[in-house]
Amino acid sequence: MSEQDAPQIYLVTPPEFDLGTFPTRLAQVLEAEEIACLRLSLATRDEDRLMRAADAVREVAHRFDVALVIDTHVVLSQRLGLDGVHLTDGARSVRAARKELGPDAIVGCYCGQSRHDGMNAGEAGADYVAFGPITGALGDGETAGDELFSWWSEMIEVPVVAEGGLTPERIRDLAPITDFFAIGEEIWSQDDALAALRGLRQAML
């Protein structure tokens, strides 16, 4: 597969990170690799921490002309001038988020392994639908298999994202039938995030 035809990288922040060091790590990756979108995905519900993290990450993302979305928080996305929101409850909140954020914002959602949820999200105005996890090491052991992505890529025009427990082997399997790979802890858990990302990028080609 040529680089032009390969899926794009949708980068996800770690659930916890040090505001003093993570922006520098992030900048190294964004400067060296082409990233389609970045998602702020913190585990905390502390609004002050979310806002400070969003400010720091937004500065880096926009310096490299990368769109930044935030998990779940439609109001914070608006208040902080982010590019959109990533919803984690399937299709349920898509229509409301689209109405709140307007037609130009990015509204995406995670639909687990549910084809039905994905179709409903697309009909409600989602810009992309994410399925996962890809390997059984996460969650309840249920996975989004090749047949789901294959069907989606043939039948549905809404872009599809593969995320959760990605490995080079699974990336190779899914590269012909997905539009984006959401990559987060797969690289941030490594000492050299950029080298780890490049290894995964090679598996897409």
Domain boundaries, the chain: 8-204
Specify the pLDDT at position 137.
62
Kind of pairing between the strands at 160-163 and 128-131: parallel
What is the per-residue burial (b if ≥16 Cβ within 10 Å, else e) of 48-87?
Answer: eebeebbebbbebbeebebbbbbbbbbebbeebebbbbbb
Residue 182, pLDDT > 80, answer yes
11-46 pLDDT per residue, tens:
999 999 999 999 999 999 999 999 999 999 999 999
73-128 pLDDT per residue, tens:
999 999 999 999 999 999 999 999 999 999 999 999 999 999 999 999 999 999 99
Q: What is the pTM of this model?
A: 0.95
- Topology given in CATH for the domain delimited by 8-204: TIM Barrel (3.20.20)
Tell me the pLDDT of the chain averaged across its residues.
Answer: 95
